[in-house]
Amino acid sequence: MTQLNEGAAAEAVEAGDRADVPVGVGGGTGAAGPPPGGVATRTLATVTGWRLVVAACGFVGYTDVAVRMGDPVRALEDLSHLASFVAGLLFLGLAAYPFVTGRRRHEPPSPWARGAMAAALLLVGVVWHTLMDGLETGYLTTSALFTHLVTPVAVLADWLFVGRNQRRARWWFPLTWTLPLLAYLAFMVGAGIESYSDFLDPDDDGFLLTVGAFTGAVVVTGYALLGAARLTRRPRPPQSAPASASASAETDQAPTAA
């Protein structure tokens, strides 16, 4: 009987481990109960609201530059604005995800997209503040502020403190997070975009070396994101067996009368 009770408790812990309740935002219970195995109402409202805010940050940065340029498509040529626009779409999709899945999960099982977005926006922010002299020029426009600071910080905060699925990231994810950036690099060279020509000039002898250095930096950043996610993940409280099972176990262990 004791072994059966321990098995039931282990299954309960395993079921709780599969639940996608975020670590850093909201609580595990809400005023209205979720569907069986689903997401609590309070948690759902908090995470959905947060991700709508992150999506808005991405769209604000892109929209500002698109309006000033008068060409929404051409505004997507620069990596900064393209990354903000994609972040807006991604987090809009993440906000809708719980409702599409019937509140069974608050986010997809895989963290690949969130991790790739965090790595790309960290690259955008760091490069702009350093190699592109962003610290000296300052945030002269709304797009400069949102695309290079607000949105990258918000996406990083979501990775570290709001989401839960980052603990499922595989060791090889950071290697693949370089692929979208390399695809953009190929587009940049093919389209003749010169926004980053000061340090990424295809005609320069050290171009391939520079590309290799950027790729390595993205990989290192990716593994730092994996490590940080594990450090900031709050440990799960221990779960005990149901009261009825505990009572049965005590009955089985009680000495019998002579």
Tens of pLDDT, residues 198-218: 999 999 999 999 999 999 999
Mean pLDDT over the full length of the chain: 82
Q: From the centroid of its chain, how far is CA 80?
A: 18
Considering only residues 159 and 12, tell me which one the structure prediction assigns the higher pLDDT. 159
Burial (Cβ within 10 Å: 0-12, 13-18, ≥19) of residue 43: buried
**84 pLDDT higher than 50:** yes
At 151 the three-state DSSP class reads helix
Q: What long-range pairs does 10-14 form, CB within 8 A, spacing at least 24?
A: 12/239, 12/241, 12/242, 13/239
Is 105 in contact with 39 (CB distance < 8 Å)? yes
Rounded Cα distance between 229 and 21, Å, is 15
pTM to 2 decimal places = 0.79
At 1 the three-state DSSP class reads coil
Rounded Cα distance between 254 and 258, Å, is 12
Is 51 in contact with 88 (CB distance < 8 Å)? no
| pLDDT of 100 | 93
Residue among 204, 58, 181, 185 at smallest CA distance from 123: 181
